[in-house]
Amino acid sequence: MSELLGTQAKAPGLSERWGPVALYLLKRLLSGALVLLAGTAAVFFTIQAAPGDPALSALGEQATPEAIAAFRAEYGLDAPLMVQYVRWLLGFFQGDLGQSLAVARGMPVGALVLQKLPATVFVGFFALFLAVVLSLVLGTLAALNRGKATDTIATSIAVFGVSMPDFWMSYVLIFGLSLGLGLFPAFGYVAPSTSLTGALHATFLPALAIAAPMAAVFARTLRAVLIETLSKPYVTAAKSFGLRRPFILVHFVLRNAMVPYLTVVGLQIRYILGGVVVVERIFGIPGIGSLMVDGAFARDYNVLQACTVVFLAIVLLVNVAVDMICALLDPKQTVK
Partner 1 sequence: MTSFRRFLQHRTGVIGLLIVVIVALAVLIGPALIPYGPEDMDFMAMLAPPSAAHPFGTDSFGRDVLSRVLLGGRVSLLISFTAILIAAVLGSWIGILSGYHMGWTDGVLMRVMDLLFSFPSFILAMLLMVLFGFSSANIIAAIALVYLPIFARIARNTTLLIREEPFIQASRLMGRRPAAIMLTEILPNISAPIMVQASVGFAFAIILEAGLSFIGLGVQPPTPSLGGIMSDGREYFSRAPWVLTMSGMAISVALLGINLLGDGLRDLTDPKLRERT
Partner 2 sequence: MTNQISRRRVLQGITALPFAGSLSLSARAALAQSTTMTAAITGYSVINSLDPAKASLIPEFYVIWGVFNGLMKFDDEMNVVPDLAETVTALDGGGYEFKLKSGVKFHDGSELTAEDVKFTFDRVMDKETASPNAGKLGKVSKVEVVDPLTVRILTEGSYAPLLTFLTNARTGTQIISKAAFEAMGAEAFSRAPVGTGAWKVSDWRAGEGLTLSAHPDYFEGKPGFETVEVPLIAEEASGVTALQGGQIDMTSTAPAADVSMLMQDSKIQVLRQPGLNTRFISINLKKAPFDDIHFRRAVSMAFQREAMVQAVIFGEGVPAQGVIPPQLPAYYSTEPRAYMKFDPAAAKAEMAKSKYKPEEVEVGVITWSGGWWKRFAEIFVAQVNQTLGTKFKVEVTDANTAYARQKSGDFEAGVWGWLGMVDPDEYVGDLLTSTGWRNFQGYSNPEVDQLAAQGLAETDPAKRPEYYKKAEAIAMDEVALIPCFCSNIHNLLRADLEGFVQKPYSNFADQFRSMKLS
Residue 121 to residue 286: CA distance in whole angstroms: 11
Which of partner 1, partner 2, none interacts with 183 (beta carbon under 5 to 8 A by kind)? partner 2
Stretch that binds partner 1, among 22-30, 69-77, 222-230, 239-247 (CB under 8 A): 222-230
Q: Which residues contact 87 (CB under 8 A, 6 or more apart)?
A: 76, 79
Is residue 193 a contact residue for partner 2 (CB under 8 A)?
no
Residue 102 to residue 40: CA distance in whole angstroms: 19
Q: From 270, 238, 241, select the one nearest 255 (Cα to Cα).
A: 238
> With CB under 8 A, what is the number of residues at the site for partner 2?
56
Of residues 159 through 178, those in contact with partner 2 by CB under 8 A are 174, 178
Which of partner 2, partner 1, none interacts with 162 (beta carbon under 5 to 8 A by kind)? partner 1
Smallest distance from the beta carbon of 278 to partner 2, in angstroms? 11
Assess contact for 128 and 136: CB atoms under 8 A.
Answer: no
Q: From 267, 161, 279, select the one nearest 210 (Cα to Cα).
A: 279
Secondary structure of residue 109 in the 3-state scheme: helix
* Near partner 1 by CB under 8 A: residue from 104, 254, 315, 322: 315
* Near partner 1 by CB under 8 A: residue from 231, 244, 246, 332: 231
The enclosing H or E element of 66 equals: helix 65-74
Secondary structure of residue 50 in the 3-state scheme: coil
Smallest distance from the beta carbon of 163 to partner 2, in angstroms? 25
Is residue 102 a contact residue for partner 1 (CB under 8 A)?
no
CA 180 to centroid of chain Cα atoms: 30
Assess contact for 280 and 290: CB atoms under 8 A.
Answer: yes
Q: From 154, 171, 285, select the one nearest 223 (Cα to Cα).
A: 154
Q: From 219, 192, 223, select the one nearest 126 (Cα to Cα).
A: 192
Is residue 188 a contact residue for partner 1 (CB under 8 A)?
no
Which of partner 2, partner 1, none interacts with 191 (beta carbon under 5 to 8 A by kind)? none
Which of partner 1, partner 2, none interacts with 248 (beta carbon under 5 to 8 A by kind)? none
Assess contact for 213 and 169: CB atoms under 8 A.
Answer: yes
Is residue 274 a contact residue for partner 2 (CB under 8 A)?
no
Rg (CA), the chain: 24
Contact track, partner 2, 46-85, x by CB under 8 A: -----xxx--xxxxxxxxx-xx-xxx--------------
Residue 301 to residue 109: CA distance in whole angstroms: 10
Is residue 167 a contact residue for partner 1 (CB under 8 A)?
yes
CB nearer to partner 2: give 54 or 266: 54
Is residue 152 a contact residue for partner 2 (CB under 8 A)?
no
> With CB under 8 A, what is the number of residues at the site for partner 1?
54
User: Other C-beta atoms within 10 Å of 88: how many?
Assistant: 21
Residue 176 to residue 47: CA distance in whole angstroms: 40
Secondary structure of residue 51 in the 3-state scheme: coil
Stretch that binds partner 2, among 36-44, 151-159, 183-191, 324-332 (CB under 8 A): 183-191
Which of partner 1, partner 2, none interacts with 284 (beta carbon under 5 to 8 A by kind)? partner 2
CB nearer to partner 2: give 56 or 317: 56
* Near partner 2 by CB under 8 A: residue from 97, 116, 215, 276: 116
Smallest distance from the beta carbon of 32 to partner 2, in angstroms? 28
Note the residues at the interface with partner 2 (CB under 8 A).
Answer: 51-53, 56-64, 66-67, 69-71, 100, 102-107, 112, 115-116, 174, 178-188, 190, 195, 197-198, 201-202, 281-284, 286, 290-291, 294, 297-299
